[in-house]
Structure 1
Amino acid sequence: MDSPILPATTSLPLPILYQSSDLVAINKPHGLLVHRSPMASDVREFAVQRLRDQLEQRVYPVHRLDRKTGGVLLFSLNESMNSAMQMLFAEGRVHKTYVAIVRGYTPDAMTIDYPLRKDDGPDSNVVQEAITFLKTLQRTEIPFAFGKHATSRYSLVELNPVTGRMHQLRKHMAHILHPIIGDRPHGCNKQNKLFKEHFEMNTMLLHAQRIEFDHPATSERIVIRAPWQSEFERMMGMLFWGNVNSIIS
C-alpha cells in the first residue's frame, strides 16, 4: 500500500548524482532516514518523501543506507525497473564501495568473513553469511592521549561488502576491533566522545562512495560516485592532511 502523501518540505533539494528515465541516485546526507521506520517514529522527513516531492513523481528505493551513513543512494522511477534492480542486488551483481574512518591501524588488506544475526523481522536472530573486503588507504597518528596511550591512531579504509546484511560494515569493523568513528551502538563510546569534545563531530564517518552495475535494460555499465559530505571531508582534512582523493579510485 502506498504511503500517504505528505506536504513538500522546505529543505534544500537533495543532490542528484545520476538521473535517467528510470533511475535516479542522490548523495544522501548523514542523518536522513531512507523511509519510515517504527524505530524512529518522531522523524518527519525521509529521503523517499523528499525526493518524490523534488521530482514530483513516485520513487522506489532499491537498496538502503543507515540513517547516519551518507553517500550514493539509488532509486528506481517505475515498478519494472525497481524489480529488475532488486534482482541485481539479490544476485550480488551490484558492486558497492564505502569509505570509513576507523579506530587504530588496520591491516593493509583483509577479508572479513563473519556471519551476522538478523536484527529485526520474523527471522530475527537467524545467522547469515556476511563477507566484507577491506583495504587500508591511509593511516594517521594524532597527539591526543587516549586511555594509557599518549597518542591516537586512525585508519582510512575502503570497504566492499560482498553480502548486504543490516549494519554489516559497522558490525564487521567492530568485530575486528577497528570500529567506525561515530558509530553507535557498535562503535567505541570513548572514541566518539573524544571526537565530539575535540572536533565537535557528532556523525558517523561512513560514506557510500561508489556504486557500479550493468543497466538492466541497456547493459550499459553505470558507475555513480558521491562526493564527500562536508563533515566527512572536514574530518579527513583534520586527520589525514593529504589529498586523499588521489588514493581513492
Structure 2
Amino acid sequence: MQSQCDLNAFSVIHRDDALLSVHKPAALLVHRSPIDRHETRFALQMARDCAGQRVHAVHRLDKATSGLLLFALDADSARHLSRQFEQRRVEKRYLALVRGWPLVQGCIDKPLRYKADALADARASKEHPPQQARTHFRCLATATLDQPLGRFPQQRYALLELRPETGRKHQIRRHLNHIGHPIIGDVNHGDRHHNHLFHNWRGYHRLYLAAVGLRVTHPHSQQPLDLRAPLQADFQSTLAALGVPVPLDAPPD
C-alpha cells in the first residue's frame, strides 16, 4: 500500500541569504520523475514557492523518507554545498524504527552493489564492483508490542540513531536489513509481516526513517552550521504508542 503524503508536514526549518532547509514529508518526491508520472507536487517546487525564487537541490532524500532537505539559493552556494556532500564532509543523522533489539551501538561496514537508476543510468555499464559503505548506529530505546505475529505473542522493536559515512543508494535500509533489523515500513528491504502489522495497528503505512540532522559548512561564512528537523507527527505518534520517548532534536556530536 502506498503512503499518502501529508503536505501539511512540509515546513521551512531555516533560511538565510545562501540556503533554505525544509522538512520534507514522507511520500513526497524531491523533484519530478518519469517513474512517478502521476505525482503533481514536489519538494523542489514547494521550496521554490516558499523562497519566492529559484532554488538548487544539493542532495536528495528517498520519496519514502521524511525529514531535513537542503537547498541552495544561488549557483555558487550550490556548488560549495554539493562539493561537501561529494567529499563526505557533511555529517548526516537519521532516526529509524526497526524490528528487533540490536546491539547498543556498532558500525555496519559492508560494501554494497551499485544500484542503477532505471532512467538516469539506462546507458551506463551494468558492471560495477561493490562500493564501500559504512553506517554507524546507536540504539536509543527499545519497546515490546503485545501483538501476536507468527509464533510470537509479543514483538520487539527499537529506535536507532544512524550516521552514514557514505551515501550509497538506500544504504541505511540495505545495511539494517543486512544485520537482521529492517526498518518498519520498508517495502523493498523490510519485513512485510511487520509492515502489515503496523499498518493494521496504526491505520496508515509509512517508512519509519527520518533525516533529522545535517552539519555543513556555510558557503558564505565558512562556519559550521547545524540543521535539525523534528520527526513528522505520524512518526512521533507511533513512538508514543510504543511507549518510546521522542528524542530531542539534538545536534550531531
TM-score using structure 1 length: 0.91
Q: CA RMSD in A?
A: 1.7
Which of 225, 245, 248 does residue 247 from structure 2 map onto? 245
Q: Who is 2:178 aligned against?
A: 175
Identity of aligned residues (%): 36
Unaligned 5+ runs, structure 2: 1-6
The one-letter code sitting in structure 2 at the alignment partner of 1:232 is F
Q: Who is 2:3 aligned against?
A: none
Query: Contact conserved, 1:117 with 1:124, CA < 8 A, in 2?
Result: no
The one-letter code sitting in structure 1 at the alignment partner of 2:163 is N
Shift in Å, 1:116:
1.2
Query: How many angstroms apart in 1 are the aligned matches of 2:72 and 2:237?
Result: 32
Shift in Å, 1:125:
5.4
Q: Who is 1:24 aligned against?
A: 20
Matched, 1:145 2:148: yes
Matched, 1:165 2:168: yes
Query: How many angstroms apart in 1 are the aligned matches of 2:236 and 2:47?
Result: 24
Matched, 1:57 2:53: yes
Q: Who is 2:102 aligned against?
A: 106
Secondary structure of residue in 1 paired with 2:102? coil
Shift in Å, 1:13:
8.7
Query: How many angstroms apart in 2 are the aligned matches of 1:230 and 1:124?
Result: 40
Which of 74, 77, 84 does residue 78 from structure 1 map onto? 74
Matched, 1:40 2:36: yes
Query: How many angstroms apart in 2 are the aligned matches of 1:181 and 1:221?
Result: 33
Query: Contact conserved, 2:18 with 2:219, CA < 8 A, in 1?
Result: no
Structure 1 runs (4+) greater than 3 angstroms displaced: 11-14, 246-249
Distance 1:107 1:125, change over 3 A: farther
Which of 211, 215, 220 does residue 212 from structure 1 map onto? 215
Q: Who is 1:187 aligned against?
A: 190
Shift in Å, 1:12:
5.3
Query: Contact conserved, 2:239 with 2:245, CA < 8 A, in 1?
Result: no
Query: How many angstroms apart in 2 are the aligned matches of 1:213 and 1:125?
Result: 33
Shift in Å, 1:176:
0.8
Shift in Å, 1:149:
1.2
Distance 1:117 1:105, change over 3 A: same
The one-letter code sitting in structure 1 at the alignment partner of 2:199 is K
Q: Who is 1:235 aligned against?
A: 238
Q: Who is 1:7 aligned against?
A: none
Shift in Å, 1:177:
1.0
The one-letter code sitting in structure 2 at the alignment partner of 1:222 is L
Query: Contact conserved, 1:119 with 1:125, CA < 8 A, in 2?
Result: no
Once the two structures are superposed, residues 111-140 of structure 1 have per-residue CA deviations (whole angstroms, 9 ceiling, x without a partner) of 101111222222555221111001000001
Query: How many angstroms apart in 1 are the aligned matches of 2:89 and 2:106?
Result: 21
Distance 1:224 1:246, change over 3 A: closer
Unaligned 5+ runs, structure 1: 1-10
The one-letter code sitting in structure 1 at the alignment partner of 2:15 is Q
Q: Relative to structure 2, which stretch is displaced further, 186-195 or 119-128?
A: 119-128
Q: Who is 2:139 aligned against?
A: 136
Distance 1:248 1:221, change over 3 A: closer
Distance 1:55 1:131, change over 3 A: same
Once the two structures are superposed, residues 152-200 of structure 1 have per-residue CA deviations (whole angstroms, 9 ceiling, x without a partner) of 0000000000000111111111111100000111111111100111111
Query: How many angstroms apart in 1 are the aligned matches of 2:156 and 2:89?
Result: 35
